[in-house]
Each structure stands twice: as C-alpha cells, then as structure tokens.
Amino acid sequence: NAGVTQTPKFRVLKTGQSMTLLCAQDMNHEYMYWYRQDPGMGLRLIHYSVGEGTTAKGEVPDGYNVSRLKKQNFLLGLESAAPSQTSVYFCASSSRPPGTVSNQPQHFGDGTRLSIL
Amino acid sequence: GQQLNQSPQSMFIQEGEDVSMNCTSSSIFNTWLWYKQDPGEGPVLLIALYKAGELTSNGRLTAQFGTTRKDSFLNISASIPSDVGIYFCAGFRGSQGNLIFGKGTKLSVKP
C-alpha cells in the first residue's frame, strides 16, 4: 500500500547542475501536484497535472519543468539549480480537484530534501 | 499572491488542554482543508469543509467553515502528546489546482 512515493529522499547539488525528482502514485489518481515547502512559508504549488499528458503552472513555477508521460508518474525537473531552490519538495495526488465535494483528499509523499550549494 | 493568515504561529500547551487555531483571508474560498504534518513526513488531511457555516468533527478535532467564507477554525479538545506537529490550513477557490496553504501552527504538548 505505497500511496505516493518520492525519489530521491535527499540530494545535494551544486549551483548549475540539473536533476529530476520522481513522484509515483499507485492509486490511479488523475491529479498530481508538486509543492515546495520553505521554513515559515507553508506549501506553495509549483506545477500540477490534471491528467496524463497535461501540465499547468502553479504559484511558483519559474526555474522548474514538469512532465506527465504516464498517469502514475509526475516528474519535476530543475534544469540549472540555484541556491534559492533549496527546499523540501512534496508531491501529492488526488482523484478529483481539492475543491470537489467528494471528500477526496490530496495524498502527499514524504518529501525530497534538496540542498543547492 | 493570495495569502492565508494562520494564527497562532506556535503554541505550547499542557496535556489535556484544548487548542484553538484559525485561518483568515481577504478572499473568499469555496473549500477549507486542515492538515497535520509530523517531522520528516508529508501533510495528512484531517478535515475538509465545503460549505459556509459547516461544522465537522474528526475524533477530538472540530473545524468550522466561517460564514463569511473568509476564515476557518480548528479546535483540538483534551490534547495528548501525539497531537504535536505543525497544523496547516488550506483554501481552494475553484481553479483546477491552486490550493493555498497557510504558514502553519506549530503545536507542542507538555506531558
């Protein structure tokens, strides 16, 4: 009963390096989301996807790209990492949008802790 | 951008005490959600509210959707040590993806 799985759990990068964070969900959810969490800032939406092959920008999309080639996977890419992207990244999924009256919560992964030096 | 003002930022209480926290916004929201986050883990949904004035309970937790649709409240009764964590409110206005989170209330419970 894995739910939402994020890999890697930790990573340290140098400024300018690139990397991809992987999110996988086994609940057949249509909607997937990437958030970043910074101290004192709560969670902020980076990008999201409402289905396979679709992506959309969230609140803080700059410096990130995403892809949803398969329904169960949502990838977050950093093309040229910057120290400002040091954060904890959370992936989430839901079967319907969070405002739908169906009591379908967003399921979160345990996070990826990324440090950019 | 949109903001949710969550208060208090932190609370230090004695086991057995009741806890109250709230979230306010200058904008109207259609949905209010309350999450709890334990260290090293992702947030877990506690309560979802979909109608203005709605009062919903989940065990010792009770949350209310404010009648103005600009605020929400979470109460925890008879706190226990495992209630320790960070509690986040989140509001949803109806666009496809944008769930707006508050900055969190850090709860510490002294046994």
Query: A38-79: per-residue pLDDT in tens?
Result: 987 789 999 999 899 999 998 899 999 999 999 999 999 999
**Max CA pair span of chain B:** 43
Phi, psi of B29 (to 5 degrees): -120, 150
- The answer to whether A42 contacts B103, with C-beta atoms less than 8 Å apart, is yes
C-alpha B39: how far from chain center: 17
Beta bridge partners of A92: A33, A108
B47 CA to chain A: closest CA distance, Å? Answer: 9
Distances (CA, A) of B83 to A80, B12, B92, B111: 40, 12, 25, 11
Task: Say whether pLDDT at A102 is over 80.
Answer: no
The answer, for B40 touching chain A at a CB cutoff of 8 Å, is yes
CA–CA distance, A80 with A83 (Å, rounded to integer) = 10
For chain B, give the percent of residues with pLDDT over 90.
Answer: 70
- The answer to whether B42 contacts A33, with C-beta atoms less than 8 Å apart, is no
Task: Say whether pLDDT at B46 is over 80.
Answer: yes
Task: Decide if B48 contacts A103 (C-beta within 8 A).
Answer: yes
- The answer to whether B45 contacts A105, with C-beta atoms less than 8 Å apart, is yes
- The answer to whether A99 contacts B30, with C-beta atoms less than 8 Å apart, is yes
Residues of B with Cβ-Cβ distance to A44 under 8 angstroms:
101
The pLDDT of residue A59 is: 87
Strand (E) or helix (H) holding B66: none
Lookup: tokens for B41? 């883990």
SS3 A27: coil
Q: Which of A17-31, A93-107, B29-43, B57-71 has the lowest mean pLDDT?
A: A93-107
Q: How confident is the model at residue A22 (pLDDT cuts 50, 70, 90)?
A: very high
